[in-house]
Structure 1
Amino acid sequence: MQLEGTNFKLRPWRMQDAPSLQRHADNPSVSKYLLNRFPYPYTLIDAEEFLQHITRQERLTTFAIEVDGEAAGGIGLELRRDVYRYSPLIGYWLSEEHWGRGIMVEAVKILTHYAFTKLDAICVQAFVFSENTRSMRVLEKAGYQKQGIIRQSVIKRGVVMDEHIYAAYPKEK
């Protein structure tokens, strides 16, 4: 399955993406506001381990963002359990060389629509560190609404930050 954007596509990750994944992900500006499970430095071994895991996913929820013929970012939905089973979390990153081109806003819109139409989501949520204002703008441009702020709830690279909660809901029919 492939989802088309204006100047990119969302597609399943492939093992041959390892070199481009490593090259684009190995940037402190990319990993700065991501969870610690996204390492920095990002080695070729990290890329290969991620791809070995993600290429076996049962439901397609994590996509490579292909720009100019190579995997230059990632976007995915983290499916949850119990009372949250219809409210996935969205997460994303993009190579710094492609920032400012509108790719991520469109990718978030596409994947959010996918969540509502293919995964029966009732709500898609995003948690954003307070210093990541670029990501907040991406979500707002993609139609997400700020739900609130959890004060001093995360620490990344020794900095304590608030976490901003965003959500999107299906359009009324």
Structure 2
Amino acid sequence: MPDDPSATAWRDLRLSIDGMQLRRWRGDDLDALLRHADDAQVVRGLSERFPHPYTRADGEAFLSGRVVDLDHPLLAIEIDGEACGSIAVRPGRGERTHVAELGYWLGRRHWGQGRMTRIVATYLDWAVPALGLLRIETSVLDSNPASARVLEKNGFVREGIRRGALRKHGRLHDLHLFGRIQAP
């Protein structure tokens, strides 16, 4: 999708929040990415798309765009000059172009400080109008209640539960479904 004119609109995007930055991922983020992503506690709350252990090859594949489309508004979370997490929406297609799926993670060192709540708010304040979105949706593992609180503080409503939807670490987990509707 490199010819998509909207992709260039956020190529140099930088959002600031209380000393934190949201910006595009760079090749020189590899060591920081490995430091924060290769953590079993981080991965326990994420989908199976996020590998563990998180290897150098995984990081290189991610940063080169072989894992996700880096032309989408996928941003690194930078704290104290170091990339330590990520946030993105994946817009729908066809009849769902007004809908996007939200995903995010943050290195454990930065948990419990209210940072992710502010990051989600700032990111969506930019992404919703920039992409013409009316609905944001996401799912949260039952083992990640902190993420559910982040969403609720950002106006998301719990819309349902997909019971036993995911097998992780040898047991079935429920996925809690969340959505947020924007006024048109």
Equivalent residue of 1:125, what SS? strand
Q: 1:171 deviation in Å?
A: 5.0
- Matching residue within 65, 71, 83 for 1:53: 65
Equivalent residue, structure 2, for 1:91: 103
- Matching residue within 91, 113, 117 for 1:79: 91
TM-score of the two chains, using structure 2 as the length reference = 0.87
Find out whether 1:126 has 2:138 as its counterpart. yes
Q: 1:157 deviation in Å?
A: 1.9
Equivalent residue, structure 1, for 2:5: none
Q: Separation in 2 of the partners of 1:123 and 1:115?
A: 11
| Residue type at the aligned position of 1:3 | L
Query: Deviations for 1:30-54, whole angstroms, at most 9, x for unmatched residues?
Result: 0112121211111122111100007
Equivalent residue, structure 2, for 1:10: 22
Question: Could you tell me the percent identity over the aligned residues?
Answer: 36
Query: Deviations for 1:111-165, whole angstroms, at most 9, x for unmatched residues?
Result: 2222211000110001111121111011111221111112111112222111111
| Residue type at the aligned position of 1:57 | L
Q: 1:69 deviation in Å?
A: 0.2
Equivalences for residues 18-29 of structure 1 within 5 A? 18-29=30-41
Q: Separation in 2 of the partners of 1:58 and 1:39?
A: 22
| Residue type at the aligned position of 2:28 | Q
| Residue type at the aligned position of 1:151 | R
Whether the aligned pair in 1 keeps the contact of 2:134 and 2:183 (CA below 8 Å) is no
Equivalent residue, structure 1, for 2:3: none
Aligned length: 171
Query: Deviations for 1:75-130, whole angstroms, at most 9, x for unmatched residues?
Result: 11122223322211101110000001111101111122222110001100011111
RMSD: 1.7
Equivalent residue, structure 1, for 2:6: none
Q: Separation in 2 of the partners of 1:10 and 1:62?
A: 9
- Matching residue within 121, 132, 140 for 2:152: 140
Equivalent residue of 1:105, what SS? helix
Equivalent residue of 2:99, what SS? coil
Q: Separation in 1 of the partners of 2:94 and 2:172?
A: 29
TM-score of the two chains, using structure 1 as the length reference = 0.92
Higher deviation after alignment, 68-77 or 41-50: 41-50
Q: Separation in 2 of the partners of 1:58 and 1:137?
A: 29
Equivalent residue, structure 2, for 1:150: 162
Equivalent residue, structure 1, for 2:54: 42
Q: Separation in 1 of the partners of 2:119 and 2:89?
A: 12
